[in-house]
A and B are shown apart, each in its own frame.
Chain A
Amino acid sequence: MHVGLQHYLAVSMILFCLGLLGVILRRNLLVIYMSLELMLNAANLALVSFSRFNGKLDGQVLVFFIITVAAAEVAVGLALIVALYRKRRSAHVEDLTSMKL
């Protein structure tokens, strides 16, 4: 079977769903962050394949920006996790319920 655009999109979709399941089901803040990275990467894969099969480079420029923003997001998020851990001594989402009504 010849590999076309839909195969790449299917891989991207499955990877996105894996990340979504990880965010919803896992309890460790760091693993949740890694799942977020998976979702961002799935979006990147979809953009690159669209860019290839449409014969334009704009998608790849967008992926470049997404990678930059993801790096900034990871830095800030991990700093938040460290600050939180210093206060609560825990990185489990179930122990972080101070905003619960």
Chain B
Amino acid sequence: MDYINNLIDNGALTDLFFWVFAALTLLCGILVIANPFSRNPVTSAMFLVLTIISMSGLFLLLHAFFLAAVQILVYAGAVIVLFIFVIMLLDLKEEQRRRIKFFGLIMGLLSVGTVVAIFMKAIGSAKLATDAPANAPEGETYALGKLLFTQYTLPFEIVSVLLLVAMIGVILLSKKKLE
């Protein structure tokens, strides 16, 4: 653990890893939504897995060790498997290359431009930290669990009820006949 911490705390190495993981995340993110070689949803799902994994690398660099593990377990392990399962179940034909509507393209670029403009304005006016504070807590399981079961007990219980509701809803939705 000390060895890993030393490696992570060493500034230059961390920066290098950041650029690698960020480039991987963005490249795979582009390939999820616009793959020039394949229109198959399975390919998109696979690149989504790669995006998730490289993003959990970014989480590691931010000392969020528990969340990096949860990210891989829940997203790459459960959510993507669910996606693949549904794709196989539906037996989709390859998405035809329909012409992208001009109106849709304009609206998409407009909304993206708005988001970028808001972001630039916010970044420009804010004084952002370049270094984490020296006593920044590690996102390890113990610290996170302690916070989760003391300060955030009520949201935790509510989220568990939400999961139950989602489960019942899914069972109802996937019954053969909806009454």
Q: Could you tell me which A residues sit within 8 Å of B by CB distance?
A: 1-11, 13-22, 24-28, 30-31, 33-35, 37-38, 41, 44-45, 48-49, 51-58, 60-61, 63-65, 67-76, 78-83, 85, 91-92, 94
Q: A15-B25, A34-B48 are in contact. Are A48 and B74 (CB under 8 A)?
A: no
Q: List 21 A-B contacts (CB under 8 A).
A: A2-B15, A3-B19, A9-B128, A13-B115, A13-B116, A17-B115, A24-B107, A38-B32, A44-B67, A44-B71, A45-B55, A48-B58, A49-B62, A51-B139, A60-B144, A61-B148, A61-B152, A63-B64, A67-B75, A68-B159, A75-B166
Q: Could you tell me which B residues sit within 8 Å of A by CB distance?
A: 11, 14-15, 18-19, 22, 25-26, 29-30, 32-34, 41, 44-45, 48, 51-52, 55, 58-59, 62-64, 66-67, 70-71, 74-75, 78-79, 82-83, 86-87, 89-90, 92, 95, 98, 100, 104-105, 107-108, 111-112, 115-116, 119, 123, 128-133, 135-137, 139, 143-144, 147-148, 151-152, 155, 159, 162-163, 165-167, 169-170, 173-174, 178
Please give the distance in Å from B164's CB to the nearest CB on chain A.
9
Partner of A67, one of B71, B83, B166: B71
In the complex the two chains form, what is the Cα distance from A53 to B66 in whole Å?
17
Q: Does the CB pair B116–A17 fall under 8 Å?
A: yes
In the complex the two chains form, what is the Cα distance from A92 to B104 in whole Å?
15
In the complex the two chains form, what is the Cα distance from A48 to B44 in whole Å?
25
CB-defined contacts of B105 to chain A, threshold 8 Å: 25
Partner of A20, one of B22, B48, B90, B112: B112
Q: A16-B115, A57-B147, A79-B174 are in contact. Are A38 and B136 (CB under 8 A)?
A: no
In the complex the two chains form, what is the Cα distance from A4 to B29 in whole Å?
22
Q: Does the CB pair A41–B52 fall under 8 Å?
A: yes
Q: Does the CB pair A24–B108 fall under 8 Å?
A: yes
Please give the distance in Å from A34's CB to the nearest CB on chain B.
5
In the complex the two chains form, what is the Cα distance from A21 to B110 in whole Å?
10
Q: Does the CB pair A8–B132 fall under 8 Å?
A: no
Q: Does the CB pair A76–B170 fall under 8 Å?
A: yes
